[in-house]
Amino acid sequence: MLELMRTTDAVLISFVDALLKDAGITHIVADSHMSILDGSIGILPRRILVDAERIEQARRILRDAELGHELS
């Protein structure tokens, strides 16, 4: 799996998660349980990981949604 993006914005992660699910792209939201370490203040970024075979399609979806600046 390859990193598609990394952010501390929970709303953005939720939106990208929905976009990828709608496109049928297998992905993982990594580090989502790290809030235990940062005290739930959201300073530790979460990552979205995508299968290597689908990374270009996932990047295109984010660019089409005008989120290209969020790509890793």
pLDDT tens-place string over residues 44-72: 888 999 999 999 999 999 999 999 999 98
Q: Would you tell me how many other CB atoms lie within 10 Å of the CB of residue 27?
A: 20
The sign of the dihedral angle between the CA atoms of 10, 69, 2, 56 is positive
What's the number of domains the chain is made of? Answer: 1
In contact, 71 and 5? CB cutoff 8 Å: yes
pTM for the structure as a whole = 0.82
CATH number, domain with residue 45:
3.30.70.790
Q: Would you tell me how many other CB atoms lie within 10 Å of the CB of residue 58?
A: 24
The whole-chain average pLDDT of the chain stands at: 88
Alpha-carbon dihedral angle through residues 30, 20, 60, 33, given to the nearest 10 degrees: -10
Q: What is the pLDDT of residue 10?
A: 85
Q: Which domain holds residue 58?
A: 2-70
